[in-house]
Amino acid sequence: MSLTKYDYVIIGAGPAGMAAAVEACQYGLNVLVLDEQPTIGGQIYRNIEDLEEQRPGEFHQLGADYQEAFELAQRFHSSEAKYRPGRSIWQIDSDLTLYHIGQDGGPSETCHAPRILIATGAMERPMPFPGWTLPGVMACTAADVLYKSSGLLPRGEIVLLGSGPLLLLIACRLLDAGVKIAAYLDTNPHLAPFQALPYLPEALRGHDYLLKGIAMLWQMFTSGAKVHLGVTGIEAQGEAHLQKVQFQQGTATWKELTADLLLLHHGVVPNVQITRQLGCEHAWYEKQRYWEPVLDQWGNTSIENIAVAGDSGRVCGSANSVLTGRLAALETARALGKIDSSQQTALAVPLLKRQNQELAIRPFLDTLFPPRRPWLVPQNEETLICRCEEVSVREIRGAVRLGALSPDRVKPMIRCGMGPCQGRMCGLTASEIIADERQVSPVDVGYFRVRSPIKPITLGQLAGID
Ligand SMILES: Cc1cc2nc3c(=O)[nH]c(=O)nc-3n(C[C@H](O)[C@H](O)[C@H](O)COP(=O)(O)OP(=O)(O)OC[C@H]3O[C@@H](n4cnc5c(N)ncnc54)[C@H](O)[C@@H]3O)c2cc1C
């Protein structure tokens, strides 16, 4: 397969990737957008065009931002950008050659551009506890994906567990669609609102988000679902399928609920697989306890000609993703000589102003909904951490005691992070447990060294590379 060449390759057709492509095309750049999903929209606006066309009632129920996103999708389609859905990037070389495969099992293809934008979004932070791998227990966004992509809604006794704006948003979306939620187990610490208080004055600049949050809380609390606050421990139980959950609030005695479906949420974290594979510099974001690539205001990483936009830089929502995508595209237009520095600055001023407004609420939200220790470092040592290789907390602690002091040492010893997801799911938890065992910060422990292939690829596909 020959190497196809572009000016700009964008990975991800979510809000950040689409906005970057539209902006870049305006300056005459030859743009390719690759995304592993079958349709544009990314996580938040998944399947947006089909929704608008085939399920208009549900589309309008999803909110005004969907209308704006639909307009962005139309601008994206009418731009000159070449879009290839269903393509997963599994490797990028240091000379900026990209390798991608399709779900059809066809041969791996390559392309090249002098500038690459990584707009691969975020992923849900795993929430491990005893029983979290039982059928009937899943991430709350998985239920949202089923709803947005196929209109599927859950039935039976539905219990939600976790905290954060996305859990509330998805809960309210289910309620709006007529789903009955039996119980809402809120894991947020009681002190968090007080800790977030100093950031409230600044957050008032984003009062639309605050009002939306209050409305969602009201809807949840008045929905008839049993709301349990300050949940600190949980176990999911059942034979072949979830049947009940037991939970604890503080040091109170354990309570029990029957459940057919348990939806989890412990916040979202940047998807850093590609920036890690490339060796970009990353920094620890303490408030949300995740690593993020180190970026300048244009999204440039520590590696020349590689930039990041959207939630794969820091989780700040779709409106900020659009702005960071546009800023990154302006930088590429300047770097490739399509605009000069003064034009770039003039074009960026209104975007930076809007970004400043958009980001005003983030320190408040990030402090209000902190990730919690019982799920960062599960206390029950039999809890599975690496689902692919079935590695438990006890095995990770045991490896550390035998002298494996970092994730990369633990990995070959017990295969943690060596399965098909290549540590994407267990990476953060593994670092937290190793740090806890050593009584140091995850910063001192580091993260898995991510190697290609970052997505599973067959030997046949590998052999097919020219
Ligand atoms: C599962 C999930 C659901 C969410 N739902 C909502 C919601 O309903 N409302 C809300 O306000 N926020 C939601 N969020 C947060 C939301 O993702 C963002 O704020 C926003 O979508 C970020 O936009 P983005 O363009 O940075 O990334 P995304 O919208 O996530 O787009 C990233 C794209 O990159 C693609 N990609 C990733 N890796 C590869 C690869 N290796 N090869 C090829 N393509 C790749 C993905 O398929 C995806 O389409 C959700 C987050 C997650 C993780």
- Whole-prediction pTM value? 0.95
Candidate of 32, 39, 44 to mutate for ligand 1, largest count of ligand atoms within 8 Å of Cβ: 44
Q: Return the pLDDT at 1.
A: 54
Q: Which residues contact 444 (CB under 8 A, 6 or more apart)?
A: 435, 438
Q: Is 358 in the pocket of ligand 1 (CB under 6 A)?
A: no
Q: Establish whether residue 167 lines the binding site of ligand 1, counting it when its CB lies within 6 angstroms of any ligand atom.
A: no
Residues 17-36: what's their mean pLDDT?
Answer: 98
Percent of the chain topping pLDDT 70: 100
pLDDT tens for each residue of 210-224: 999 999 999 999 999
Residue bearing the CA closest to ligand 1, atom 53: 123
Model confidence pLDDT, tens digit, residues 214-262: 999 999 999 999 999 999 999 999 999 999 999 999 888 999 999 999 9
User: 463: Cβ–Cβ under 8 A, 6 or more apart, which residues?
Assistant: none
How many of the other CB atoms lie within 10 Å of CB of 322?
28
Q: Atom 6, ligand 1: which residue's CA is nearest?
A: 44
Q: Which of 56-60, 80-84, 302-306, 384-388 has the lowest mean pLDDT?
A: 56-60
Q: Is the CB of 154 under 6 A from ligand 1?
A: no
CA distance 60 to 63: 6
Beta carbon of 12 within 6 Å of any ligand 1 atom: yes
Q: Name the closest-CA residue to atom 20, ligand 1.
A: 318
Per DSSP, the residues of 292-350 read EE---TT-B-SSTTEEE-GGGTS---HHHHHHHHHHHHHHHHHHTTSS-HHHHHHHHHH
Strands 384-386 and 122-124: unpaired
Three-class DSSP category at 123: strand
CB distance 10 to ligand 1 below 6 Å: no
The answer to whether residues 397 and 381 touch, using CB atoms and an 8 Å cutoff, is yes
Burial class (CB in 10 A: 0-12, 13-18, 19+), 363: middle
pLDDT at 464: 81
**Residue whose CB lies within 8 A of the most ligand 1 atoms, among 11, 37, 43, for a mutation test:** 43
Amino acid making up residue 9? V
Assess contact for 31 and 119: CB atoms under 8 A: no
Residue found by looking up tokens 């994206």 in the block: 76
Query: Could you tell me the two tokens for 384?
Result: 């599975």
Q: How many CB atoms lie within 10 A of CB 54?
A: 11
pLDDT at 2: 64
Q: Which of 104, 113, 107 is closest to 33 using CA atoms? A: 113
Helices and strands: H and E segment counts in the chain: 19, 23
pLDDT at 462: 87
Residues 6 or more apart whose Cβ sits within 8 Å of residue 13:
21, 33, 34, 35, 37, 40, 41, 42, 76, 83, 85
Residue located nearest, by CA, to atom 44 of ligand 1: 35
Q: How far, CA to CA in Å, does 245 sit from each of 58, 197, 221, 228?
A: 31, 33, 21, 13
For residue 37, the ligand 1 atom closest to its alpha carbon is 47
Quick one: pLDDT at residue 255? 96
Tokens read off for 336: 């490739």
Q: How far is the CA of 249 from the centre of ligand 1 (A)?
A: 32
Structure tokens at 321: 């993703």
Which alpha helices (H) appear in 42-116, and where do they start and end?
Answer: 48-54, 56-61, 64-78
Examine the pLDDT at 263 and tell me if it is beyond 70. yes
pLDDT of residue 172: 95
CA distance 446 to 430: 10
DSSP secondary structure of 128-192: --TTTTSTTEEEHHHHHHHHHHH-----SSEEEEE-SHHHHHHHHHHHHTTPPP-EEEE---TTH
The CB of 268 under 6 Å from ligand 1? The reply is yes
Separation of CA 314 and ligand 1 centre (Å): 12
> Taking Cα atoms as reference points, which of 139, 202, 201 lies closest to residue 170?
139
Q: What's the pLDDT band for 338 if we cut at 50, 70, 90?
A: very high
Q: Domains in the chain and their CATH numbers?
A: 4-122+269-339 (3.50.50.60), 137-266 (3.50.50.60), 377-445 (1.10.10.1100)
Residue whose CA lies nearest to ligand 1 atom number 12: 44
Once rounded to an integer, what is the mean pLDDT over residues 115-134? 96
State the Cα–Cα distance between residues 95 and 93, nearest whole angstrom: 5
Which two structure tokens, joined as six digits, stand for 273? 């697989």
Q: How confident is the prediction for the chain on average, in pLDDT?
A: 94
CA–centroid distance, residue 318 to ligand 1 (Å): 9
Please give the angle made by the CA atoms of 196, 201 and 204, to the nearest 5 degrees: 100
